[in-house]
Amino acid sequence: MTLHDAVEVILAKRDGATLSDSQIDWVIDAYTRGEVADEQMSALAMAILLNGMDRAEIARWTGAMIASGERMDFGSLSRPTADKHSTGGVGDKITLPLAPLVAACGVAVPQLSGRGLGHTGGTLDKLEAIPGWRAALSNDEMLAQLESVGAVICAAGDGLAPADKKLYALRDVTGTVEAIPLIASSIMSKKIAEGTGALVLDVKVGTGAFMKDLDKARELAETMVALGTDAGVRTVALLTDMSTPLGLTAGNAIEVAESVEVLAGGGPADVVELTLALAREMLAGAGVTDVDPADVLASGRAMDAWRAMISAQGGDPSAKLPVARESHVVAAPSTGVLTRLDAMAVGLAAWRLGAGRARKEDPVQAGAGVVWHARPGDQVTEGQPLLTLLTDEPARFDRALASLEGGYDVAPAGTPYTPTPLVLDRIG
């Protein structure tokens, strides 16, 4: 490997140069081994945020992150594989009904998921509300469960893209989280190393999303689709609205309960719509075109797959879910039409109630969160429950209520309301 030093690479990107393949390979490898210091990588990350990277640079950066660890291989499975990644939102419990639904349609789903940080919920935190369920599986356990059940939702092992693990933690504390080349390479290095055959990206747009702006979200989606395609993974992205939270709940146990409702044939219309839209994309990516996921959902087979998936990871799908000790009702301020419920306000409230964490090591409350009793477009009556706040610690209510101030609008009865489409665009 060509010899480089960190200052040379930082100066090149600071001055707007294109990094060479050998510079990228060297800096990722050296940082993973501890030879490049955190403050040097911080400077490089800021230079990338300010000056960007071209497609070839991002592809090489992603490849170097993949090369820092192991690659998984699902070639031995008796069915094709497809995975989905969401960039994170509020009330976004879609992975929970989606993985068993796609498995019930004949495609294996190796879903490596994460924990929540800040106002966005984490899939693993939600599932850990189920008594006995465990997130940590060995590669052999994962492979065996994919063959027998068809779906697994678990934590990524330490061996997968270890460079990303270090860089992700650094970006979080250096103001470089928003750099599109770094977001795209972070997500795609893990997904490509995971070895799935097809990948569907759910890129959220709006107040409760990482990307508030449609153009920026489209740029991120196009970058990730190009990375996946270049690596031989059939990749598409849906841009989906996250100005209003998904479903009727944001929390951990309450989102599990809502997901089970969807698997039972009910649940909120938007959660069902997005679950089916992503399922159709995953099946198409895996080459399965003769199965309608809506029929499979109605048949109860997806619920069977859910119960098998939870049981296989030590959970009891029939167990009662944890319930928060305290609740507080927010009443509708007037009679009329709910025209806005802001996803960020709801996400912050759920976080402050104990459903999320400020630092990776913080614990979360299984029962905490927010339930909303109306969605934008619904008629409400003054004094009726609009939101219910849930927590084990009543001292948390004041800060949660503060985050909801200005987070919803009720217009006079008869005010016309035009909903935003849930799926805004498709890339790929």
pLDDT digits (tens, 9 = 90+) for 219-269: 999 999 999 999 999 999 999 999 999 999 999 999 999 999 999 999 999
What distance in Å separates the CA atoms of residue 170 and residue 152, rounded to the nearest whole number?
29
Domain locations in the chain as residue ranges: 6-52, 82-163+176-312, 326-411
Cβ neighbours, 10 Å, residue 313:
20
Task: Verify whether residue 164 is a known catalytic residue.
Answer: yes
Q: Does residue 358 have a pLDDT over 80?
A: no
Q: How buried is residue 216: exposed, middle or buried, by Cβ count under 10 Å (0-12/13-18/19+)?
A: middle
pLDDT at 366 over 90: yes
Copy the structure tokens of residue 54. 């071209």
Q: Which of 113, 186, 259, 403 is catalytic?
A: 186
Q: Does domain 82-163+176-312 have CATH number 3.40.1030.10?
A: yes
1.20.970.10, 3.60.21.10, 3.40.430.10, 3.30.56.10: CATH of 6-52: 1.20.970.10
Query: What is the rounded average pLDDT of the residues 353-369?
Result: 88
Predicted pLDDT of residue 296? 98
User: What's the confidence (pLDDT) of residue 305?
Assistant: 98
**Of 92, 125, 119, the residue nearest 347 (C-alpha):** 119
- Choice among 171, 191, 218, 352 that is catalytic: 171
DSSP secondary structure code for residue 38 in this structure: H
Beta strands 385-391 and 369-372 are antiparallel
148 is catalytic: no
Cα separation of 428 and 56, whole Å? 18
171 catalytic per annotation: yes
164, 241, 270, 342: the catalytic one is: 164
What are 314's two structure tokens?
């030590």
362 is catalytic: no
What's the one-letter identity of residue 268? P
Reported as a single tens digit per residue, the pLDDT across 375-401 is 999 999 999 999 999 999 999 999 999
Say what the pLDDT of residue 2 is.
62
Q: What is the pLDDT of residues 121-157, one digit of tens each?
A: 789 999 999 999 999 999 999 999 999 999 999 998 8
Burial class (CB in 10 A: 0-12, 13-18, 19+), 224: buried
Out of 4, 13, 84, 85, which one is annotated catalytic? 85
Active site residue 243: no
C-alpha torsion sign, points 385, 389, 394, 397: negative
pTM of the model: 0.94
What proportion of the chain, given as a percentage, has pLDDT over 70? 99
Rounded CA-CA distance 137/145 in Å is 10
Q: What is the dihedral of CA 270, 274, 275, 277, to 10 degrees?
A: 140
Decide if pLDDT at 120 tops 90: no
Provide the CATH number for the domain formed by 326-411 in this structure: 3.90.1170.30
- Of the candidates 190, 191, 204, 352, the residue annotated as catalytic is 190
What residues contact 12, with CB distance under 8 A and at least 6 apart? 19, 23
Q: pLDDT by residue (tens digit) across 326-346?
A: 999 999 999 999 999 999 999
- Please give the pLDDT value at position 73: 92
CA–CA distance, 240 with 228 (Å, rounded to integer):
19
Q: What is the pLDDT of residue 178?
A: 85
pLDDT of residue 172: 78
